C-alpha cells in the first residue's frame, strides 16, 4: 500500500509543506475518529478535479462503515459534490439528510483542511467524517463532550488552526488517547469535564476529589512533591495555553499528559487535556535503558580485553626470533583486532546494529599496518556501501574481509606497490562483496589451503550461509588483469527490517 506522501505526490497538486501538514493531521486521525465516533477519511485533490483517499482512520469505540480499505480509491459519486464544495469554498459542508452506504444510514461532514496564506485561507485537502447512524444510542455526557471536542477541532482544521506547528512531533511511546482519559478546560484553565478514566488517573497520583470546577494547574501543583524535578513547561500545559506533552510523577505513578488548545477565530477558548497512566510503560522503558547501558558496557569491556590480547600478541611477535612464528602471531593479532573493532562500534550505540562502512574503514587501517610491515605499498579503494548490519553479521564478515584483503596485500602484492579494490553491492535480499587486486594471481590457478582460507570458508559458508569464489582476473583492458578476484555473496533474509 502506498504511503500518504506517495499518494499525495502522485496527484501533482500539493507542495512539500502541504504534505507535511497532512502528515501532522493524519497523525491525529485516531484522536479525531475516537472523539467523533466516526470514520475519518482524508481526500487529496487530483489533476482531473476529483479526489483520492490518502488516509483513513476507524473509530476505536464505534462501528466502522468501511470494512475494506479505501485508501488509494477515488471519492464516491454520492460524496464528490460535497467534498468539492468544501474544498472550493473552504468551509464545512454537512450532508442535508442521512445518506445510505451499503444499506447503512450515515451522516457525512466535509471539512476543508486549510492553511493560512497571508490574510486568507487555502484548502489543500478535505477531511470527511462518516457517522454510522445505524448504531445510534442515547448519548452519555461523555459522548456529548467528545463530540463537542471533535466539532471544535474540525472548526480549527477548517480555519488553519489545527494541527499546530508548534506542537512536538513524534509522539512518545504511550501517548494518551481520548479513551485513556480526557479533561476539558475553559479559557481560564478550569476543568469543565473529566472522563472517568481521567479521574482514575489523577486519583492514582494522589488527588482524591472531583476535578470539575478545579483549576488543573492548582491540582497538579498540589500533587507534585516539593522536591520533584518538574518539567518547566508543565504549568503551561496544564493550563491549556500551549500544545505540549509531559509526564507527571507522584506516589510511584506516572501519568502522561497532552494539551491541545482550542481556538475560535484565532483566540483561545479552552483546551483538551488527554491523560494516561503510563507507569508500566515508563518502567519498561527504564529497564530497557538500563539493559542497553549494560550491553554497551559489556561490548566496551570485551573490546578492551581483545585489544589487550592483541597487544600481547604484538609484543610476543617482536620478541620471537622465528620469522614464521612472528608472522603467525601478527596474523592472530590482526584477527583479534578486527573483532575488537566491531565490539567498539557496538559499545557506542543503543542498537545491536553497526554501520559496517565505518567498521570496514577501520579494518582497512589494520591491513595498512600489515602492508607497511612487509614493505608493501597497497592502495585500497572502496566502492558502494555495505550499510547497517546486525552484530551477528558484522563480526564474521569483518573477520573474513580482513583475511581476504590481508591475503591480497601479503601474497598478491608481496613486497611491491599495487591496488586493492573492494566493491560492495547490496539490495534487500543479498550483499555481494568483490575484492580485486593487481597482484600475481592465484598460484597455479588454485586456491590455497592455509589457515586463512579455512577461516574465511567457515565464516562465510558456515556462519553467514553465503558463498565465496576465488578466480584469476581475465580482463586485459584493466589494471587488474592477471590479479585475483574474490566474490562473497551473503543472503540478508534473516535481517529483521523495521
Whole-number Å distance between alpha carbons of 491 and 430: 4
pLDDT of 62 reads 85
Residues near 38 by Cβ (< 8 Å), separated by ≥ 6? 59, 62, 129, 130, 131, 132
Residues near 468 by Cβ (< 8 Å), separated by ≥ 6? 456, 457, 460, 461, 486, 487, 488, 489
E strand map for 15-119: 39-45, 51-57, 93-94, 99-101, 104-117
CA distances from 96 to 107, 137, 308, 352 (A): 9, 21, 80, 58
Residues composing the chain: 498
Whole-number Å distance between alpha carbons of 246 and 256: 6
Q: Are the C-beta atoms of 3 and 96 separated by less than 8 Å?
A: no
Q: In the numeric block, which cell numbers belong to residue 150?
A: 471533535
CATH topology for the 355-498 domain: Heat Shock Protein 90 (3.30.565)
- Tell which residue, 227, 230, 266, 204, has the closest CA to residue 217: 230
Whole-number Å distance between alpha carbons of 142 and 34: 12
pLDDT of 261 reads 96
pLDDT of 148 reads 96
Beta bridge partners of residue 277, listed in sequence order: 255
pLDDT of 255 reads 92
Residues 450-454: contacts with CB under 8 Å, at least 24 apart: 452/331, 452/403, 452/406, 452/407, 453/407
Q: In the numeric block, which cell numbers belong to residue 141?
A: 455526557
The single residue listed with the C-alpha cell 488548545 is 261
pLDDT of 368 reads 67
pLDDT of 498 reads 39
Helix (H) or strand (E) holding 245: strand 245-250
The tens place of each residue's pLDDT in the chain, 498 residues long, gives 468 988 998 888 888 999 999 999 999 999 999 999 999 999 999 999 999 999 999 998 888 888 888 999 999 999 999 999 999 999 999 988 777 777 788 899 999 999 998 888 999 999 999 998 877 677 899 999 999 999 999 999 999 999 988 887 765 677 899 999 999 999 999 999 999 999 999 999 999 899 999 999 999 988 887 655 667 788 899 999 999 998 888 888 999 999 999 999 889 999 999 999 998 888 887 777 777 777 777 777 877 887 788 788 878 888 888 878 877 787 787 778 777 777 777 676 655 678 888 888 887 877 766 655 566 677 888 999 998 888 788 888 888 888 888 888 777 777 678 888 899 999 888 899 999 888 877 776 677 677 778 888 888 888 888 999 988 888 888 888 888 889 999 998 766 443
CATH value of 178-277 in 3.40.50.720, 2.30.110.10, 3.30.70.141, 3.30.450.20: 3.30.450.20
Q: In the numeric block, which cell numbers belong to residue 413?
A: 602484492
Whole-number Å distance between alpha carbons of 90 and 157: 10
Whole-structure pTM value: 0.65
Number of CB atoms found within 10 A of residue 435's CB: 21
In degrees and rounded to multiples of 5, residue 51 shows phi and psi of -145, 145
On the CB side of 188, how many CA atoms lie within 13 Å of its CA?
Answer: 6
- Tell which residue, 475, 393, 404, 448, has the closest CA to residue 426: 393
Whole-number Å distance between alpha carbons of 483 and 298: 42
Buried-exposed string 173-205: b where 16+ CB fall within 10 A, e elsewhere:
ebbbbbbbbbbbbeeebbbebbbebbbebbebb
Q: Are the C-beta atoms of 46 and 11 separated by less than 8 Å?
A: yes
- Tell which residue, 131, 121, 185, has the closest CA to residue 158: 121
Alpha carbon 483 to its chain centroid, in Å, reads: 44
Whole-number Å distance between alpha carbons of 323 and 313: 14
Residues near 32 by Cβ (< 8 Å), separated by ≥ 6? 40, 57, 127, 129, 150, 153, 154
Q: Where are the alpha helices (DSSP H) in 320-387?
A: 323-346, 356-373
The single residue listed with the C-alpha cell 578476484 is 485
Determine the 3-state secondary structure of 314 from DSSP.
Answer: helix
pLDDT of 1 reads 46
Number of CB atoms found within 10 A of residue 454's CB: 12
Beta bridge partners of residue 256, listed in sequence order: 247, 276
Whole-number Å distance between alpha carbons of 341 and 307: 9
Assign domain 4-158 to a CATH class.
Answer: alpha beta
Q: Are the C-beta atoms of 106 and 79 separated by less than 8 Å?
A: no
Amino acid at each position: 500500500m502506498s504511503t500518504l506522501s506517495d499518494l499525495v505526490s502522485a496527484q501533482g497538486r500539493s507542495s512539500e509543506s502541504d504534505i507535511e501538514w497532512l502528515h501532522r493531521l493524519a497523525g491525529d486521525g485516531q484522536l479525531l475518529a475516537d472523539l467523533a465516533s466516526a470514520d475519518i477519511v482524508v481526500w487529496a485533490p487530483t489533476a482531473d478535479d476529483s479526489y483520492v483517499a490518502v488516509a483513513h482512520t476507524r473509530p476505536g469505540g464505534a462501528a466502522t462503515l468501511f470494512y475494506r480499505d479505501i485508501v488509494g480509491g477515488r471519492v464516491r459519486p454520492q460524496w464528490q459534490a460535497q467534498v468539492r464544495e468544501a474544498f472550493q469554498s473552504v468551509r464545512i459542508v454537512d450532508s442535508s439528510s442521512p445518506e445510505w452506504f451499503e444499506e447503512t444510514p450515515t451522516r457525512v461532514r466535509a471539512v476543508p483542511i486549510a492553511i493560512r496564506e497571508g490574510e486568507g485561507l487555502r484548502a489543500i485537502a478535505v477531511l470527511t467524517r462518516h457517522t454510522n447512524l445505524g448504531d445510534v444510542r442515547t448519548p452519555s455526557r461523555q459522548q456529548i463532550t467528545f463530540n463537542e471536542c471533535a466539532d471544535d477541532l474540525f472548526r480549527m482544521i477548517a480555519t488553519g488552526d489545527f494541527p499546530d506547528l508548534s506542537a512536538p512531533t513524534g509522539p512518545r511511546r504511550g501517548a494518551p488517547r481520548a479513551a485513556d482519559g480526557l479533561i476539558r478546560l475553559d479559557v481560564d484553565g478550569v476543568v469543565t469535564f473529566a472522563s472517568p478514566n481521567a479521574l482514575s488517573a489523577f486519583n492514582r497520583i494522589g488527588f482524591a476529589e472531583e476535578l470539575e470546577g478545579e483549576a488543573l494547574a492548582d491540582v497538579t501543583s498540589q500533587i507534585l512533591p516539593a522536591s520533584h524535578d518538574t518539567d518547566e513547561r508543565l504549568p503551561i500545559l496544564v493550563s491549556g495555553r500551549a500544545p505540549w506533552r509531559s509526564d507527571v510523577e507522584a506516589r510511584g505513578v506516572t501519568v502522561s499528559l497532552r494539551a491541545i488548545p482550542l481556538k475560535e477565530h484565532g483566540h483561545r477558548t479552552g483546551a483538551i487535556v488527554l491523560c494516561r497512566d503510563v507507569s508500566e510503560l515508563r518502567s519498561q522503558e527504564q529497564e530497557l535503558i538500563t539493559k542497553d547501558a549494560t550491553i554497551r558496557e559489556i561490548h566496551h569491556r570485551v573490546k578492551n580485553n581483545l585489544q589487550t590480547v592483541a597487544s600481547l600478541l604484538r609484543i610476543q611477535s617482536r620478541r620471537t626470533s622465528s620469522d614464521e612464528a612472528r608472522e603467525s602471531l601478527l596474523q592472530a593479532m590482526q584477527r583479534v583486532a578486527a573483532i575488537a573493532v566491531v565490539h567498539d562500534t557496538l559499545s557506542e550505540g543503543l542498537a545491536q546494529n553497526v554501520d559496517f562502512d565505518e567498521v570496514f574503514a577501520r579494518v582497512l587501517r589494520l591491513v595498512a599496518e600489515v602492508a607497511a610491515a612487509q614493505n608493501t605499498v597497497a592502495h585500497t579503494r572502496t566502492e558502494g556501501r555495505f550499510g547497517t548490519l546486525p552484530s551477528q553479521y558484522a563480526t564474521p564478515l569483518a573477520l573474513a574481509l580482513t583475511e581476504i584483503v590481508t591475503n591480497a596485500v601479503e601474497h598478491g602484492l608481496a613486497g611491491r606497490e599495487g591496488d586493492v579494490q573492494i566493491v560492495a553491492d547490496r539490495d534487500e535480499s543479498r550483499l555481494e562483496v568483490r575484492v580485486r587486486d593487481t597482484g600475481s594471481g592465484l598460484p597455479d590457478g588454485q586456491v590455497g589451503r592455509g589457515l586463512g582460507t579455512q577461516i574465511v570458508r567457515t565464516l562465510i559458508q558456515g556462519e553467514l550461509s553465503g558463498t565465496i569464489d576465488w578466480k584469476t582476473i581475465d580482463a586485459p583492458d584493466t589494471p587488474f588483469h592477471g590479479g585475483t578476484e574474490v566474490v562473497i555473496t551473503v543472503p540478508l533474509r534473516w535481517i529483521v527490517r523495521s
